[in-house]
Amino acid sequence: MKAYDELMAFQRETEALAEVAGRLGWDQETVMPRGAAPQRSEEMAAMQGVLHARNVDPRVADWLAAIDGEALDEVARAQLHHIRRGHDRATRVPGELSSRIARVTSRAQGLWAEARATDDFAAFAPVLEEVIALKREEGQALAAGGDVYDAMLDDYEPGATAETLTAMFGALRPALADLRAAVREAPQPPVLEGVFDEAAQMELTRLLATTFGYDSSIGRVDKAVHPFSSGSGLDVRITTRTNPLDPFNCFYSTIHEVGHAAYEQNIDQAYLLTPLGRGVSMGVHESQSRIYENQLGRSRAFTGWLFGKMRDAFGDFGVADAETFYRIVNRVSDGYIRTEADELQYNLHVLLRFDLERALMSGDLQVGDLEAAWNDRFEADFGYPVDKPSNGVLQDVHWSVGLFGYFPTYTLGNVYAGCLHEALRAAHPDLDDHLARGETGVATEWLRTNVQTHGGLYTPRDVIRRASGIEPSEAPLLSYLQNKFGDLYGL
Ligand code: ZN
């Protein structure tokens, strides 16, 4: 198996370089001196050039051709599957097109930020048209005659198709909109008031990270404008943020990112620096972050424990009891912004983007009509109009940087989390007794052995199917949300 060994040695070095490139990104968002930005973009472009050259290296195709797949075990076959996939993708897209996309999206991101600051969609529209045209061209190259949007999806969620997602999301949308409307009519819980010391928030956030099994000996927690998790294997870092008026933003951002990070930290170490040593898809990744954040972190049992910890950290902060605290944590409020949305409304934000971006890609929707289409859809699903573009069509960075096919993985992650949560509860009927003591171990251990340890060994759907024992479906998520918010709002 000389060819296999040579290919894996080559790939291992590629994976190591990709980790280095990722760490440059982490550095840029956390500790990089502000003046370093122009040099950093050259450094990153150089790393991308090296990685691209390795991905299209003709030796990879030679090695792949020389290997007898039949003689390999399951793990080796899975490794080859990922390498072949990466190589095919890299060779299908002309280098010149990739460079044009990189240049246009870099410009588009700047124009998007300006347009958002000035609430001027028309200032962003022309460059968005350029991005869409180039991404469509890339999608056509990737699809090789197949469906263009599916080819884009495949970058983030291998195996997913617009057709299956449309069916799943089509079942979610009316049920969520109805639940949302009923909640809106019901009496509202109080809001959190007061000022919460930011150093104390960071101290409690570190405790939360540890509580959810984040291993700080192979990770670290820093602050950044937008929370994220980066890296895999033995160096997985997370960031969070603090706002003196909103400690939940800090705590739940941390728990969310710990879900992502725990996935990467808990992959079988035999897969370190190989294609199997990473989370298998964005959807499965998001299932981990969301189950940590919502089904566990925002449960009645766990918030009871968190209420005590917040009283320890901040003294009496004006919330009388654990039940009121639970209702405040899960409060459903009117809002416009996806990233600030509660678990009930979040998916409505995503479904809107999924439908609009497919229409943009197919040409059914023109960029000139996008703002109006967004506003109409928002009012239909949320019951009130968008007040300004920065609260509407200009709120997300994704389309400016060419991320088409990415949004649906957020809801897919929630759907997967629903399936996993149901199976987890069945395996551990006493889960709430543990959570009420601030012990997440039974849940995180179940997720580690059933999902996280496998890394890229199985397809995304397979890993969820094996763990949950059912075909992935929106039904468990929907009944979880209906039960939870029905109970909270007395519906
Ligand atoms: Zn996430």
Phi first, then psi, for residue 437 (nearest 5°) are: -95, 10
CB 138 within 8 A of CB 94: no
**Position of tokens 């999608």?**
139
DSSP 228: -
Phi first, then psi, for residue 281 (nearest 5°) are: -160, 165
304 Cα–ligand 1 center, Å: 24
323 Cα–ligand 1 center, Å: 27
**Which pTM does this prediction carry?**
0.97
**Position of tokens 């479906």?**
473
287 Cα–ligand 1 center, Å: 8
Give residue-wise pLDDT tens across range 383-423.
999 999 999 999 999 999 999 999 999 999 999 999 999 99
289 Cα–ligand 1 center, Å: 6
State the pLDDT at residue 38: 87
Give residue-wise pLDDT tens across range 307-347.
999 999 999 999 999 999 999 999 999 999 999 999 999 99
Of 198, 200, 220, 224, residue with least CA distance to 209: 220
Give residue-wise pLDDT tens across range 71-96.
999 999 999 999 999 999 999 999 89
The DSSP annotation for 145-196 comes to TS-HHHHHHHHHSTT--HHHHHHHHHHHHHHHHHHHHHHHHSPPPPPP-S--
315 Cα–ligand 1 center, Å: 31
CB 464 within 8 A of CB 415: no
Q: How many CB atoms lie within 10 A of CB 224?
A: 18
Provide the annotated active-site residues: 257
Give per-10-residue mean pLDDT for the chain (491 aa). Answer: 95 98 94 91 90 96 95 96 96 92 91 96 98 97 95 96 97 97 95 97 98 97 95 97 97 98 98 98 98 98 98 97 98 95 97 98 98 98 96 97 97 98 98 98 98 98 98 98 98 95
282 Cα–ligand 1 center, Å: 8
Q: How far apart are CA 155 and CA 138, in angstroms?
A: 12
Amino acid at 107: R
DSSP 238: E
450 Cα–ligand 1 center, Å: 19
Contacts for 132 with CB less than 8 Å, ≥ 6 apart? 360, 361, 367, 399, 404
Task: Note the residue count of the chain.
Answer: 491
Q: How far apart are CA 194 and CA 244, in angstroms?
A: 8
Contacts for 140 with CB less than 8 Å, ≥ 6 apart? 148, 151
Of 183, 148, 187, residue with least CA distance to 332: 183
